Structure 1
Amino acid sequence: MFDLGTSFLASVERDPTAEAIVDGALRLTYAEWYRHVSALVARLDEAGLKPGDRLVSVLQNRWEAATLHWACQLAGVVIVPVNWRSKPDEIDFFLDNAEARALVFEPVSAEAAAQATRAAGLWRLDAAGIGGLLAADGEPKPATPSAAADAFSLMLYTSGTTAKPKGVPRRHLAERAGALAHVAQNAYLRGERTLGVMPLYHTMGVRSLLAMSLIGGTFTCLPRFDAEKALTLIAAERVTCLYLVPTLYHDLLHHPAFAATDCSSVRRLGFAGASMTDGLLKALKAAFEPELFVNHYGSSEIYTFTIEQDAPRKPGSAGRAALNQRIRVVRLGAGSVDEVAATGEEGEIIATLAGDEAFEGYWKRPEADAKALRDGWYFTGDSGYLDAEGDLFVTGRVDDMIITGGENVSPVEIESCLSLHPGVLEVAVVGLPDERWGRIVTAFVKRCCRDEAPVDAGVLDHHCRDSGLANFKRPRRYVFVEEIPKSPVGKLLRRLLVAGEYRPEPAEAEPTHPSE
């Protein structure tokens, strides 16, 4: 298989005049972009960076970040992209843990980079100057690949909750396999145009960048998500495919400018990163009328687990194993990969490590390997079940499972139920400690802004009853909040709700309790 540097060269040769990247007023064809990439490769060489060296980047989704990604692939340097909001101590951790030899930042992250003590003595580059390399150094020598397909391409860090983030090193061949599968599973055609807003420090952002190169497509940069700017770009750049987390779709759909925005160019919708509620699925299908609506379930460690190419057909279904994967659901707490759960029985989802997209283990974290990697399978930490037709339903994280009165309750099912009520804008469900039940099912709700009286706990409780939700799954407590806490890439942060880190609505001095 090609290494990614060779893959990029093939894209340049195949579609030299196709528009490759757009960032504001800047527009580059593949041939023009290759010149900028080559100039940056020369600068990395001058800095003494060798194949296999790690480089930490603290960048937003700007064209310089995408240029750096490709320059590292050609130079054989392992790029370690991290959140541009990282604080100095976090940058220190990434530099130290990755044993990095270089740091690339931009104006928005310059202060944190300057305060990172581990950065002293490292080669540093302000990405804002990447665009001037051609003018400063003249016509660059065309860069040639310096890495083999089995060399490491990049290292992503999974978000830490109770412990430090874990490094996920991934090889060129696994990255390219994931990109090829992404093209196939989303039925991308030559010349697609995507909105490059999922961060390039996140697996979804990287996959969008690589996939576009394989088909002569256009990566339209949006440095940070803003619903109004995103809608403007979708219309102006005639974006054809979107690949976002559900939260960003929600924000697009509920922005006042959505109704007046021409989104007719968008033919394919894809989502990942979290389950999508039934209400949002229904609304997106009606609003976009997409030719393909893909639920993509995966992770940084193994890019794709399962694919459902018609998400509204069976709401909540993550479909079946992807092109490069095999999956199983084993019983919760299983000691063996052969303890397979029965049809409809909730268990832990596991995926084979033999697939082309799989990683091989965490960076310098043997205890994490021991927990997640067993007998050639990756234990995802996600809970779910297979229905009678063999489709996978992801019900949440094993750690998020609510055990109330001896019953296992999945937050995702309740969130989907509540999302269908027109008075609910967003919802997150957790289990809070209770002396009698152990945990009680608690729904944190952001209400829609309406002229009429907003929904209350009683209304939502009746909605759950009428929907057929099992009695023991009904929330026993409702808390109405100003915002649902989310990660930088839009994932619900249920742990913050459990910890009490939320802002209740001004009128909500105490949580409300429906009748038992």
Structure 2
Amino acid sequence: MLDLGTSLLAAIERDPHALAITDGALELTYREWFARVSAAVSALDDMGLKPGDHLLTLMQNRWENATLHWACQLAGIIVTPVNWRSKPDELAYMLTDSEAKALVYEAASAEAVGATEEALSLPRLIAGEASDGARSLTDLLGLAADEAQPRAKADDWSLMLYTSGTTSAPKGVPRRHQAERAAAVAHVAQNLYGRGERTLGVMPLYHTMGVRSLLATALIGGTFVCLPRFSVPVALAAIEARKVTNLYLVPTLYHDIVHDEAFSRKQVASVKKLGFAGASMTDGLMKKLNAEFEPDLFVNHYGSSEIYTFTIDQTAAVKPGSAGRSGLNQMIRVIPLDATDPDGRAQPGEEGQIIALLDGDEAFEGYWKRPEATQKALRKGWYFTGDTGFYDEDGDLFVTGRVDDMIITGGENVSPVEVESCLSLHPGVLEVAVVGLPDERWGKVVTAFVKRSGNVSETDLDRHCRASGLANFRRPRGYVFVEEIPKSPVGKLLRRLLVSGDYTPERGMAPAQNELS
């Protein structure tokens, strides 16, 4: 298999004059972009970086970030992107853990960098103007340099992503060139991308979805439309101006787009393919997206940083909630919830834990310097995802949540996702999240946190759940109306904050639940 550096050279040879990347007014063809990538490789050489070194980056989705990602692939350097919002203690941890040899950041992260001793001891580049001992990456990218040649092979390390670390310290997920390229090729095939498509580059390049969009776009000679920071008006303007043909976003961003008063079908008329990942999509949102975009293709992609693709459903709106079937490079099983051996199988309709084959081309090989986490997750050639789900009678997978999110109430298992999808279909519900709150009698009580879009009461919502056919033990016994549903920077629902009480009740309402019989 090709390494990623050679893959970029092949893309440049195929489509030298095609538009490769835009960032605001900036436009670069593949040939023009390669000159900037080569300059970045020269800059990394000047910093003393060698193949196999880690380069930690803290940048938004600006063109310099995308350029640096490709430069690392050519130079054989392990790009290690982290959230540009990282706090000093988080930055210090990841710099130390990754054994980073240098750091690249931007003005938005400068305060955290300046407060981190581990960062100040390293060679540094900054996107934009030089500052505080860091040279300007932007200036360096404009210098003349010899055309870069690939220094890595397919089995060398390409990048290391950090998991979100919602329950423990973030874990590094190192991935090889061959796994990254296999994932990009699969992304092209599974989303039916054609040559020259244009994608909105808004998913962060420290997230597997953002990286996949970047790599896949180059493989088809397409255009990566940088959107450094998400806002609905800016996103809609970019989609319309750049004639974006496909979107690959988390459900939260889709929700914000179609519910914004600025949204119009005219602005998104060029978009023919929708894809989502990162979280389950409620039935209500899926229905609205299908009506507003009328896409030719609507893909639910279920995967992770560790193994990019688990399953794919290319007709997501036909069977809402279905994650489909195993991707091109994968096999998936559902085993009993308490099983530790991959050979057991849950029956159709029986909720269990989802595991994925490690022999797949897109798979990682274990966590960085975390043998205990690797041993827990990787067993007998299978990756235990920590997700729960079931196969229906047709053989389609339904993902119901995380093992840790399962609500056990009165001895019954309740999936938050099922209850959320039910409530999302009520017109008075804008967003909803369901958790189990401690209860002396039941162990946990099913509680719904709702952001309202109208004058809807808990009695109305309870009546809706009863009429929908939702099983009695799954009905929420408490409702809390909130200003916002807490989410991570990439749109993942943060249920733990709701459980801990870290949320803002709707104005005029007490932070308590009204139990329903």
Q: Please, what TM-score do these two structures have when normalized by structure 2?
A: 0.98
- 2:137 matches 1:130: yes
- Tell me how far 1:512 sits from its aligned partner: 4.1
Q: How far did 1:132 drift?
A: 2.1
- What SS class does the counterpart of residue 430 from structure 1 fall into? strand
Partner residue in 2 for 1:229: 234
| Residue identity matched to 1:142 | E
Displacement, 1:340?
1.1
Whether the 8 Å CA contact 2:431–2:450 is kept in 1: the answer is yes
The 8 Å contact of residues 232 and 261 in structure 1, kept in 2 or not, is answered as no
Matched, 1:515 2:510: no
1:196 has 2:201 as partner: yes
Structure-2 change in CA distance of 1:266 and 1:260 (3 Å): closer
Give the fraction of aligned pairs with identical amino acids, expressed as a percent: 69
- Which residue in 2 is equivalent to 1:119? 119
Provide Cα deviations, 1:225-284, integer angstroms capped at 9, x if missing partner: 111111111111110000000000000000001026421100000000001000011000
Aligned residue in 2 for 1:211: 216
Tell me the SS of whatever aligns to 1:282: helix
Aligned to 2:492: 491
For 2:214, give the aligned amino acid. L
Question: Does 2:62 match 1:31?
Answer: no
The reply on whether 1:367 has 2:365 as its aligned counterpart is: no
In the alignment, is the contact (CA less than 8 A) between 1:55 and 1:80 conserved in 2?
Answer: yes
1:49 corresponds to: 49
Alignment of 1:287-306 (within 5 A): 287-306=292-311
Q: Structure 2: how far apart are the matches of 1:510 and 1:199?
A: 33
Q: Provide the secondary structure at the position in 2 that maps to 1:48.
A: coil
Secondary structure of the structure 2 residue equivalent to 1:287 = helix
Residue type of the alignment partner of 1:17: H
Structure-2 residue corresponding to 1:309: 314
**Deviation (angstroms), 1:317:** 0.3
Query: Is the 2:478–2:516 contact (alpha carbons within 8 Å) kept by the matching residues of 1?
Result: no
**Correspondence for 1:69:** 69
SS of 2:90 mapped into structure 1: helix
Measure, in 2, the Cα distance between the counterparts of 1:363 and 1:330: 27
Residue pair 1:158, 1:300 contacting (<8 A) in 2 also? yes
- Name the CA distance, whole Å, in 2 between partners of 1:259 and 1:239: 15
CA contact (8 A) 1:103 1:119 kept: yes
The residue aligned with 1:472 is 473
CA distance in 2, matches of 1:337, 1:512: 40
CA distance in 2, matches of 1:78, 1:133: 20
Query: Out of 248, 257, 262, which is 1:257 matched to?
Result: 262
Inter-partner Cα distance in structure 2 for 1:470 and 1:134: 60
Deviates more, 1:351-360 or 1:333-342: 333-342
- Partners of 1:102 and 1:514 lie apart in 2 by 54
Tell me if the contact between 2:265 and 2:292 (Cα under 8 Å) persists in the aligned partners: no
Whether 1:347 and 2:352 are equivalent positions in the alignment is yes
Structure 2 residue identity aligned to 1:131? T
Provide the rounded CA distance (Å) in 2 between the counterparts of 1:457 and 1:481.
13
Cα distance in structure 1, aligned partners of 2:156 and 2:513? 56
- Residue pairs, 1:420-499, within 5 angstroms: 420-448=425-453, 450=454, 454-499=455-500
| Aligned-residue offset at 1:89 | 1.2
| Aligned residue number for residue 393 of structure 1 | 398
8 Å CA contact 1:134, 1:140 repeated in 2: no
- Cα distance in structure 2, aligned partners of 1:162 and 1:33: 40
Comparing 89-98 with 122-131, greater Cα deviation is found at 122-131
Q: CA deviation at 1:478?
A: 0.1
Shift of residue 70 of structure 1? Answer: 0.3
Post-superposition offset of 1:150:
0.3
Partner of 1:406: 411
Structure 2 unmatched ranges of 5 or more = 129-135
Aligned-partner Cα distance in 2 for 1:90–1:511: 33
**Superposed CA offset, 1:274-321 (max 9, x none):** 010000110000000000000000000000000000001111000000
Equivalent of 1:220 in 217, 220, 225: 225
Residues in 1 aligned to 2:473 and 2:288: alpha-carbon distance in whole angstroms: 28
Report the aligned-residue RMSD.
Answer: 0.9
Alignment correspondent of 2:11: 11
Asked if the contact 2:91/2:116 (under 8 Å) is kept, the reply is yes
Give the distance between the partners of 1:507 and 1:52, measured in 2 at CA: 56
1:395–1:134 Cα change, 3 Å: closer
Q: What amino acid does structure 2 have at the position aligned with 1:93?
A: Y
3-state DSSP class of the match of 1:378?
Answer: strand
Residue matched to 2:131: none
Report how far residue 344 of structure 1 moved: 0.7
Contact 2:348 2:393 in 1 (8 A): yes
Whole-Å Cα distance in 1 between the matches of residues 380 and 394 of structure 2?
A: 27
For residues 309 and 103 of structure 1, what CA distance do their matches in structure 2 show? 39
**What corresponds to 1:376 in structure 2?**
381
Higher mean Cα deviation, 284-293 or 225-234? 225-234
Matched to 1:344, the amino acid is G
Q: Give the Cα–Cα distance (whole angstroms) in 1 for the partners of residues 219 and 355 of structure 2.
A: 29
